[in-house]
């Protein structure tokens, strides 16, 4: 299943062009590429649960139970209640309301280069297309709360790992110049295998000190993002640490 959100902005003519010979597009991942997911989820959101008396063990056990079927605050709280980590349904409801208020504005979790890059790409007549893996409702909440929705021509969510290649098959014929930026080499491999002309950028937002394991306090700070560093690439991708390293020029 793919959830698609089409965007149309009267100020951007590139969103209504149909000539495949001149259209340019950038496919962007969300988590760990545009959004500092680990700092939001494993540091700040987890700390908020701790303030309600939820232990680290209960947090992680309940998370592991629900994430395969799609994460949301509500399902996480329900799992904690089933484990006995939350006293009652009324307490869970109060926690849910408080957490939603506390994390209603997620713009501080955008990486510092994101807004500048998106504006520059739009000025260069790129269509910006968000391809995001995860539960569509949870992903939509994060994207909207980050203030990114207006930047994108299309926003597409898939709950299936490596489902982005299937979405690319639908998008690629419309574009003469197409790039993809993602932190997951497996997704980039699948997309490039599907569309060999795709220019792929493998972005790493993990600090070198976390990779070296010198600071144990960074365990949760880059918990999920660091796992992608262990996935080997089958195909070549341009490596970068910042969106500023992504070229917006026409390919030679």
Domain with 217, as residue range(s), is 3-35+109-245
Together in a domain, 149 and 237: yes
Together in a domain, 132 and 231: yes
CATH number at residue 226: 3.40.50.1000
Which residue bears the tokens 């980050």? 146
Work out the angle at residue 156's Cα, subtended by the Cα atoms of residues 137 and 186, and round it to the nearest 5 degrees.
105
Together in a domain, 21 and 126: yes
Q: Which of 146, 71, 147 is nearest to 62 (CA)?
A: 71
Together in a domain, 122 and 145: yes
Cβ atoms of residues 154 and 6 within 8 Å: yes
In a domain, 171, yes or no: yes
Together in a domain, 44 and 29: no
- Residue 216 has a pLDDT of 67
Together in a domain, 198 and 91: no
Together in a domain, 121 and 18: yes
In a domain, 251, yes or no: no
In a domain, 162, yes or no: yes
Q: Which of 177, 84, 87 is nearest to 126 (CA)?
A: 177
- Residue 49 has a pLDDT of 95
Q: Which of 132, 122, 125 is nearest to 33 (CA)?
A: 132
Which residue bears the tokens 């949870």? 138
pTM assigned to the model: 0.89
- Residue 70 has a pLDDT of 80
> In this predicted model, what pLDDT tens digit does every residue of 14-50 receive, in sequence order?
433 444 568 999 999 999 999 999 999 999 999 999 9
- Residue 17 has a pLDDT of 41
Backbone angles phi, psi at 75, to 5 degrees: -70, -35
> What would you report as the CA-atom Rg of the chain, rounded to the nearest whole angstrom?
19
Dihedral sign for Cα atoms in the order 19, 17, 129, 201 = positive
- Residues in the chain with pLDDT values less than 70: 1-21, 211-216, 252
In a domain, 250, yes or no: no
- Residue 204 has a pLDDT of 97
Together in a domain, 142 and 201: yes
């Amino acid at each position: 299943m793919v959830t698609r959100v089409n965007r149309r902005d009267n100020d951007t003519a590139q969103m209504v062009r149909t000539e495949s010979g001149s259209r340019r597009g950038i496919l962007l991942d969300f988590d760990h590429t545009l959004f500092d997911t680990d700092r939001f989820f494993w540091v700040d959101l987890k700390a908020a649960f701790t303030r309600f008396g939820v232990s680290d063990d209960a947090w992680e056990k309940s998370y592991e139970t629900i994430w395969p079927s799609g994460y949301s605050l509500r399902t996480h709280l329900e799992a904690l209640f089933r484990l006995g980590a939350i006293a009652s349904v009324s307490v869970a409801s109060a926690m849910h309301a408080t957490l939603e208020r506390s994390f209603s504005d997620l713009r501080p979790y955008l990486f510092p280069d994101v807004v500048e890059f998106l504006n520059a790409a739009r000025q260069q007549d790129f269509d910006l297309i968000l391809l995001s893996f995860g539960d569509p409702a949870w992903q939509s909440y994060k994207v909207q709360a980050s203030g990114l929705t207006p930047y994108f021509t299309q926003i597409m969510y898939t709950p299936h790992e490596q489902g982005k290649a299937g979405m690319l098959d639908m998008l690629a014929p419309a574009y003469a110049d197409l790039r993809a930026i993602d932190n997951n080499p497996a997704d980039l491999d699948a997309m490039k295998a599907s569309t060999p002309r795709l220019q792929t950028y493998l972005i790493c937002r993990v600090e070198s000190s976390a990779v070296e394991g010198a600071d144990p306090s960074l365990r949760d700070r880059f918990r999920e993002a660091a796992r992608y560093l262990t996935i080997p690439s089958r195909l070549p991708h341009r490596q970068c640490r910042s969106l500023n390293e992504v070229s917006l020029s026409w390919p030679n």
